[in-house]
Amino acid sequence: MPNQSLRSSFASTGGAPLRVLVVDDSATARAMLCAILARQHDMVCVGEAADALQAREMIRGLDPDVVTLDMVMPGMDGLDFLERLMRLRPTPVVVIAAPTRQHQTTVLRAAALGAVAFIDKPLPGTPGAIEAFEQRVVVRLREAARTRQGRRTGWMTEAPVSLASTSGRLIAIGASTGGTEATPRLLARLSPAAPPVLIVQHMPAGFSARYAARLNGLGPLAVSEARDGEPLQSGHAYVAPGGQHLAVDRAAGGGFIARVTDGELVQRHRPSVDVLFRSVAKVAGERAIGVMLTGMGGDGALAMRLLREAGAYNLAQDEATSAIFGMPREAIRAGACQEVLPLDAIGPRVMALLGLRSETSPADR
């Protein structure tokens, strides 16, 4: 039942609690989620629905800020309901479901349909599982609340502000297996007015300079191998030297400079996407756009989550267009990505976020 006393206390102080509708066929799960909401000073459970039909009527009548949604329900399942909800009445949704054998497929489809996040239900008897689950739920619901004023195709979440200005912005790209072919297709869709682009492609020493030279002749950006201390310029892309880490730092007089260093392997790689993304999160934060392309392993996934938490807007390449879906998958699992898109849609989306016109790919001419 709705927490009327909490809602009344917010009304008396002039505040507005986050209004959440809980949709789950399990009475136990509904009770657990409503109890979590009752413990938060800024949230209220406005209703509980045991199936899609009840949920539909409650959404019409209550107009909740966020919906929590189970996947396995009688009648219409969660994915079908999510698809109809996003088509007919877009509402921020946090999926909360038990893992199944089709778990990863379900996660990806929910993301593609517009779910803000996918949270696994806690396993009974696991020490600390309930507390960790509550923390994840609260964080994801607050994130979802910020999507209320905007809806994106694909992975739905809050949009960065002041998108029309590229001043002080950075684009950071991570790639591995398949990235040498994916990255030029992305760069071909960018505008010469794009902010500096930094690229970490897993590559041994001796190959990156030739790779940068090849990219330089394929698209609208000037592309070069990054040099330590080099000022970063709009309309330019910088490739991490093979066998060295690439990071970014603030320049003394404003703007950004490249940092190229040796050092230990990070996530078993040098250059490492993790190193780049962490540095971009630190110096650019909400002024950054992160992109995770095809690749094996999980390099950069957790750092991309830090990038998102710093306010950046992140995109990942989808499975259908990835040579290897490892790195995008891990980034998605980490909750790092606001959108999951086909490769050829990423460049135009980046330009749209920046308020710029996308270039026409040579393949389209």
Which residues are known to be catalytic?
Answer: 176, 202, 299
Spatial distance between the Cα atoms of 25 and 328, rounded to a whole number of angstroms: 32
Question: Does residue 258 contact residue 271 with C-beta atoms inside 8 Å?
Answer: no
- Angle at CA of residue 293, ends 306 and 248, nearest 5°: 50
Spatial distance between the Cα atoms of 126 and 124, rounded to a whole number of angstroms: 6
Q: Strands of the chain (E only): list them.
A: 18-23, 43-49, 66-69, 93-97, 117-120, 170-175, 197-201, 222-225, 236-239, 245-250, 256-261, 288-292, 313-317, 339-341
- Angle at CA of residue 318, ends 314 and 201, nearest 5°: 65
Spatial distance between the Cα atoms of 285 and 313, rounded to a whole number of angstroms: 9
Spatial distance between the Cα atoms of 82 and 78, rounded to a whole number of angstroms: 6
From edge to edge, which strands make up the β-sheet containing 43-49? 43-49, 18-23, 66-69, 93-97, 117-120
Distances (CA, A) of 305 to 18, 111, 232, 311: 24, 16, 24, 10
117-124's contacts with Cβ under 8 Å and 24+ in sequence apart are: 117/143, 117/144, 117/335, 118/94, 119/94, 119/95, 121/29, 121/96, 121/97
